[in-house]
């Protein structure tokens, strides 16, 4: 066995040692006589594997149909027996004291504890109420009440935000994506074309808000922190989702968002209260990474603001054009009505009653 394969084997054995300890202890027979016989699934030499350990692994098995549970339990127990045998041999040969295994155990323990803390923060957050779900549904018609499925033609340019003004000019006068491809090729600007169908929930939110206001056939430029994307809606169809169907999804999304925000706030507070010092090469790397992170965040915020302003300006322009068109139509209809009124033959005014009576009297 080579050194690398040996190291991998040692680390795997170490993780097995730790994980078995986490799930159900290392099998030591503390008060073993007090355990009910039904709690023990198997014995490996002097150590026991409990039904609780089997069920714990079973609970983490996704999409398992009920009828497959008995077989799955047997397979899980077989794996746990193999792990227990390997663990006993690792302890017997004192592998648990070797530096690679100690390091692996410490890393696995740190990961498990950190994840447990994150889970505790998430579980402490209150579940979103019906009012929150209703509010989110009402605030995002583009995802639900006015949800559309888009057939999109896309051109993505990585980085190169400096070409955004020139590209925007080309987009404004382009009637087809091919014209933009020709322009990019002439400018020797690398790009990535893409064609496909995407539902509203599969589109980045900063792009979706713009798409929702676009009509089929329209082309628009979107700016992101990582580059530029030109999008044309080749076609779209309306597929709304009512509130009853959307509610469970919204509730889960809001729960996840609350947990993420709470954990981020907690970690920020913990780090600000802790004494953290980076040394050597990591001190310089930290300054560089922080500067880059700040620049990326500012660029992303600027891109979002520009995209929002562009989307709002386009929406206002379309609204103004529609208003002008409506007023022009109303004015044209008014003028046509006046022309028709002038062209119509005038009707003779009715004679007064006295004139009629005099005329009739003269006939007599």
Together in a domain, 174 and 206 = yes
Lowest mean pLDDT among 107-121, 226-240, 296-310, 341-355: 341-355
> CB–CB of 49/87 below 8 Å?
no
234: closest CA among 192, 193, 204?
193
The pLDDT tens digits of the residues spanning 64-97 come to: 999 999 999 999 999 999 999 999 999 999 999 9
CB atoms within 10 A of CB 115: 10
Mean pLDDT of 282-307: 75
Residue 350 has pLDDT above 70, yes or no: no
The pLDDT tens digits of the residues spanning 239-262 come to: 999 999 999 999 999 999 999 999
158: closest CA among 195, 193, 194, 191?
191
Which pLDDT does position 291 carry in this prediction? 76
Q: How far apart are CA 109 and CA 103, in angstroms?
A: 10
Together in a domain, 202 and 255 = no
Together in a domain, 301 and 233 = yes
Structural domain total, the chain: 3
What's the per-residue H, E or C state across 258-278? HHHHHHHHHHHHHHHHCCCCC
Residue 42 has pLDDT above 60, yes or no: yes
Residue 25 burial by CB count (10 A; 0-12/13-18/19+): exposed, middle or buried?
Answer: middle
Together in a domain, 162 and 137 = no
Which pLDDT does position 5 carry in this prediction? 41
Together in a domain, 167 and 37 = no
The dihedral over CA atoms of 250, 254, 255, 257, expressed in degrees to the nearest 10, equals: 140
pTM: 0.61
Domain CATH number, residue 214: 3.10.50.40
Together in a domain, 188 and 248 = no
Q: At what angle do helices 3-24 and 69-92 cross, to 10 degrees?
A: 120
Residues spanned by the domain of 307: 148-238+277-315
């Amino acid at each position: 066995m080579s050194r690398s394969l040996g190291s991998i084997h040692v680390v795997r054995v170490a993780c097995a040692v730790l994980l078995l300890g986490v799930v159900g202890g290392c099998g030591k027979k503390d008060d073993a006589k007090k355990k009910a016989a039904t709690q023990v699934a198997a014995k490996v030499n002097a150590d026991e594997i409990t039904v609780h350990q089997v069920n714990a692994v079973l609970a983490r098995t996704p999409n398992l149909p009920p009828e497959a549970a008995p077989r799955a339990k047997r397979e899980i127990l077989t794996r746990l027996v193999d792990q227990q045998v390997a663990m006993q041999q690792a302890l017997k040969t004192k592998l648990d004291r070797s530096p690679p295994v100690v390091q692996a155990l410490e890393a696995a323990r740190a990961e498990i504890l950190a994840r447990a803390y994150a889970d505790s923060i998430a579980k402490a957050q209150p579940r979103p109420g019906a009012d929150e779900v209703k509010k989110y549904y009402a605030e995002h018609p583009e995802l639900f009440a006015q949800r559309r499925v888009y057939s999109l033609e896309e051109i993505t340019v990585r980085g190169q935000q400096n070409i955004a003004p020139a590209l925007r000019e080309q987009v404004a006068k382009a009637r087809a994506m091919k014209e933009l491809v020709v322009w990019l090729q002439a400018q020797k600007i690398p790009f990535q074309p893409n064609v496909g169908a995407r539902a509203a929930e599969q589109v980045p939110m900063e792009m979706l808000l713009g798409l929702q206001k676009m009509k089929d056939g329209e082309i628009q430029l979107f700016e992101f922190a990582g580059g530029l994307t030109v999008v044309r809606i080749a076609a779209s169809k309306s597929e709304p989702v009512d509130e009853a169907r959307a509610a469970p999804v919204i509730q889960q999304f809001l729960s996840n968002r609350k947990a993420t925000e709470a954990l981020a706030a907690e970690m920020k507070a913990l780090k600000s209260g802790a004494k953290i010092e980076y040394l050597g090469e990591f001190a310089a790397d930290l300054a560089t990474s922080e500067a880059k992170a700040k620049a990326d965040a500012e660029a992303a915020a600027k891109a979002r603001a520009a995209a929002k302003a562009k989307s709002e300006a386009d929406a206002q322009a379309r609204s103004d054009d529609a208003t002008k068109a409506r007023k022009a139509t109303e004015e044209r209809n008014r003028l046509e009505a006046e022309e028709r009124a002038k062209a119509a033959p005038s009707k003779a005014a009715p004679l007064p009653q006295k004139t009629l009576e005099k005329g009739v009297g003269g006939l007599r």
